[in-house]
Each structure stands twice: as structure tokens, then as C-alpha cells.
Amino acid sequence: MNFRSLRDVDVRGKRVIVREDLNVPLKDGHLGDDTRIVAALQTLRWLRERDARTIVLAHLGRPDGKVVPQLSLRPIATELGVRLGGRVGFAGDCVGPVAEAAVAALHDGDTLLLENVRFHPEEEANDPVFARALAALGDLYVNDAFGTAHRAHASTEGIAAYVPAVAGFLMEAELTALGRLTNDPALPFVCAIGGAKVKDKVGVFSHLLQRVSAFVIGGGMANTFLAAAGIDVGTSLRDDDLSPAKAIIAQAKLKNIPLHVPSDAVVSTAFDADASAETVPISEIGARMILDIGPQTAAAYAAVLRDARTIVFNGPMGVYEKPAYQNGTRTVGEAIAEATRNGAVSVVGGGDAAAAAHELGFAAAMTHVSTGGGATLEFLEGKTLPGVAALERSAQEAGIR
């Protein structure tokens, strides 16, 4: 990778601006899932232990450029302090006199969290004056917010033009793991793909069609592929427009890449009618809806995955939020875990796939579970992430200097 890491720079006594993804679920000041806070700790702890003066930038929710008190990051400063084992200061603005005074008061080893950058409309507009004001707070910029790297905002992209910029440990770990899917992956390379809609993942299909050996398809999107193949999927969730699925089928055929679709399914009459869920062959859906892949399908997918040497899992195989429809995702997850124990590289990407991996207990057995939702998806689409490109530009300029 063509950017510098935190390991390459001296941080002692320096004012280090760190962009983290701390966009956690917060209700009435109470924290829900803390995965993103935990993921930020390695970088923050490292800086603290090396006596840096750490200034954390982050966003919370979508305040749309206005001050929204419910979206204040103040409670997150407390949460960070608890996990870092020490006080984390908080400043009520991310630029201007309040931020400047808080930064000036920092001692070596201190950590300061600044208020939600998205309270300023200039953040999402990637305003250069605002980006320069953020940059002026520090001597070094560390982008650790992989989950926001697909956004060209002032605190994720613009800032890197005005202060030396390096990647944090989470950013580095994400890009290293995801990079193993694109840089000469060991074959067979299998993509297990599910989730709601084909429409959301056309880009992932077209990029991975250039790389993978096979797809195993589940979730709502499998219904769309079945429908595109002329199978009656009853009242199942499916895309109205079948043409993207048809185009993917045609492309896969041309490249001789198997697209495995379900041969049986767990169906019911409604999402929440899980008591009446039953398993049927794919030809017998009737007026019901498909809510998970069936056991025969799951076993077939597991067999394909167990032989793979590189695996990417994006999107659950069924409505994993309900126990009655978790089996497909669990069986596929366990097969990936087994392949990984036998030496395969496995990456789980997508917010729901990652949540399912944690909930169903196979996350720890994966090579990597990505913390990025949209960012991971864009990576899998082969897009350049603006936050990463900015780090590469900064490294290039440092090389010239």
C-alpha cells in the first residue's frame, strides 16, 4: 500500500489529529453496540502510551450541518475514557476558539474529543477553509476512520492536503485484509453473497466477476436471481427490475463462473409468521415468501466454501434477525470458519453480515470482519476510497519533499 502508517512517524509531544469512526447507536445518551469505539482503541491507546497529544475528530448521525444536541459526541468522550483507562477531554466545537483553547491546554499523553464535525455544513461540503482550520489544530493527521473513508469530507479527505497524513491501525488492518481479496487471491476464491437486493450490489458482482471462481447466492437477492431464471418466488422480497440479475447471469455464463442459487428454502406467509415456517423445494413456494435458504442449499454452499482458499461473505443468507431464519447464515458461516481453520483467507463485509457473524458466533473464526458498511461495499466494487487516496497523495508529497 502506498501510504504511511502511524508506525512510520514520531508522535511524542506532537499534536496528533485522529479521525475515528465513532458513529455508534446512541439513544438518550445511552450507548448501544460499541464495536466502533472498541475498534478505535488500538490507535488511541498507542498514541497515549507514546505521549502524543491526541485530538479526536468524529461524526455522529446526520445533523446536516446544524447543531443537534442529541447528536453531541460528549457522552462518547466518557465512554472512550472508561475504555482507555483515563480521562478523555471534550471540547464543544471542532474548530474556532473553543477547540483551539482545548488543544492548547493538552499535555503529553492527553486525549481530547472534539464535537461532532457534521455540526458544520462545511464538513460534508469538503470546504477547503474548514479543512485547513481542522488541520491547523495539529502537527500530524491520522485517518483511522475506515467506515467513513468512502466519503470525501473535510475531516476525511480535505484535511490531508494541509498536514502530513498517515493511516491509523484500524484503517491499515482493514485495507490489508480487504487487499488480500484483490491482490492475487489464492484460488478457488468464492463469494457468498446475500442481503436484501441485487440492486444494491450490482457493482460488487461486476467487480468480483473479474476475480472469483464462484458465487453462492442467498438472502432476498437470491429471490431476484430465481425470478430472473423464471422461477415463481411467490410473495418473496425481490427486485422489480430483473434486468441487472439477468445481465449478471449472462456475464457469469460467458466467463464460466458458477452462480449457485437455492434449490430449497425456508418459507412462511409473512415476515413475522415464524411459527409457521417450513422448508420446501424451490419449485413449491406458492403464495408464500422465502425467508432463508433451505438446508439442502446450505449444505451445498458449505461444500463449495469448504474447498475455497479465499472467501468474501457479504450479506446474510436469510432474515437472520429472527431465529427461525438463521440456519442458512449459520451453516455458511461455519463452513467459512472451517475453511479458515484450514488456511483460507476469509473476510466478512457489510453491516448486516458482520452483525450476523457476531450474533451467530463465527466472527472470531474469520480472518477479518470488516467494520465498514458502505466503505467495504465500495471497496468490493473496486472503487477508490477518497479517504485512502488522500493518504496516498500525502505519502507521495512527503516522498518528493
**Interface with Mg ion by CB under 5 A: which range of 2-10, 14-22, 146-154, 348-356?**
348-356
Q: Using an 8 Å Cβ cutoff, are 385 and 376 in contact?
A: no
Task: Report how far Cα 67 is from the mean position of its chain's Cα atoms.
Answer: 27
Q: How far is CA 335 from CA 20, 174, 269, 313, in A?
A: 33, 23, 29, 11
Of 352, 356, 368, 385, the one binding Mg ion by CB under 5 A: 352
Question: Does 291 help bind ligand ADP (rule: CB under 6 A)?
Answer: yes
Catalytic residue (choose from 14, 19, 36, 180): 36
Of 109, 295, 351, 374, the one binding Mg ion by CB under 5 A: 351
Q: Using an 8 Å Cβ cutoff, are 350 and 177 in contact?
A: no
Q: Pick from ligand ADP, Mg ion, none: which does 144 bind, CB < 5 to 8 A by kind?
A: none
Question: Does 372 help bind ligand ADP (rule: CB under 6 A)?
Answer: no
Per-position DSSP letters for 110-159, written without gaps between them: -EEEEP-GGGSHHHHTT-HHHHHHHHTT-SEEEE--GGGTTS--TTTTGG
Q: 3-class SS at 40? A: helix
Residue 194 a catalytic site member: no
**Cβ neighbours for 47, distance < 8 A, ≥ 6 positions apart:** 6, 11, 16, 18, 54, 111, 142
Give the shortest CB-316-to-Mg ion separation in angstroms.
9
Q: Which three cell numbers stand for residue 187?
A: 484460488
Q: Pick from Mg ion, ligand ADP, none: which does 88 bind, CB < 5 to 8 A by kind?
A: none
Of 39, 58, 76, 353, the one binding ligand ADP by CB under 6 A: 353
Touching ligand ADP, residues 187-246 (CB under 6 A): 194-196, 200, 219-220, 237
Residue 374 a catalytic site member: yes
Residue 36 a catalytic site member: yes
- State the CB neighbour count (10 A cutoff) for residue 26: 19
Residue closer to Mg ion, measured from CB, 352 or 378: 352
Residue closer to Mg ion, measured from CB, 109 or 351: 351
**Cβ neighbours for 247, distance < 8 A, ≥ 6 positions apart:** none
**Interface with Mg ion by CB under 5 A: which range of 63-71, 91-99, 163-171, 343-351?**
343-351
Give the shortest CB-325-to-ligand ADP separation in angstroms.
7
Question: Does 61 help bind Mg ion (rule: CB under 5 A)?
Answer: no
Question: Does 147 help bind ligand ADP (rule: CB under 6 A)?
Answer: no
